[in-house]
Structure 1
Amino acid sequence: MAGESASVLIKRALNCQCPVCGRGAVFRSHFKMNRECPRCHVVFWKDPGEGLGAMYLDYAVAAAAFLVCWGVLAFTRISDTLQILILCTVAAASVLLCYPLTRSAWTVLVYLSGGIELPPLRALRGGKKAP
C-alpha cells in the first residue's frame, strides 16, 4: 500500500476512482462494478465475501436516511401507514442512490487493510508484454 493521505483516498472514494492509481473507474455503470481497474489492472475484489462489508455501509446509509426522514415526519399529521410507506421508500431509495459510493468506499477500506495489492509487473520483450 502506498502512502496516500486520507483526504486523497476519501476523494477517490467519492469520485468512484481506483484507490491505487486514482485514474481508473471503479464502476462501468451505476450498478455494474469493474472487476479490475481499467488503468492499473489491480483486482478490486478477489473474494466473493468481500461485498458483505459494503452491505454494512448500505445499512448505515439506509438507517441514516430513515432516521432523518422519521425526524421530519414526526412533526407532520400524516397517518402512520403513510409514514411507514414513506420511510421504507426513502430507506430503499437511499441505498439504490448511494450504491456506487458505498461500494467505492468499501473498496478504499479494503485497500487500506492490505486486501488490494498491485499486480506484478511484467517484463517487456520487444515492446510487447511478456506472457
Structure 2
Amino acid sequence: MPTGPQFYSGFLGYQRLALMSQSSDYRAVPETTANEMTRAWGKVKIKGDGDDQLADRIVLIEKRLKKLKVRELMRKHIECEMTFGRSQLAISIKGHENKADVPLVISPSGVPKGSLQSFSHIEPIWSTPSAYNASNL
C-alpha cells in the first residue's frame, strides 16, 4: 500500500510501462498529445527583406527536414517521453562515428557543414541516464 501522495511508490520499470502501453486507455494520452503537438508543426522563417534567395533557402531547409523525417521523429520522441518518462534522440554525422567527444559546432574545426546524415530515436530501455562502466578490466 502506497504511503505518500503519489499513485506509485517508485519507478515501475520499462518492462511494466511497455506492458501498460499495450492498453489503449494508457496509450491514448501520449499518442493524442504527441499527434496534436506535431499536427500543425511549424514554418521555417529566415530574417531578411523577402529576397528570393532566402525563399529558395527556406524551401531547401523544409525539404531537408521532410527527408530527415524530423516531424515524425519528434512525434515519436514526445510519445515515448510521456509513456516511459524519458526519451533520447541520436544524431548521425558523417565522419564522426567514433568521435563522441567532438562538439556539435558547424565550423572547420568542429562538425563540417553538410555532414548531417540522420536523426534517430533511442528508446529508454536501451540507455541509462547514469554513469555505468561495463568493462571487464
The TM-score by the shorter chain falls in which range? 0.3 to 0.5
Higher strand share: 2
Higher helix share: 1
TM-score of the pair, normalised by structure 1: 0.38
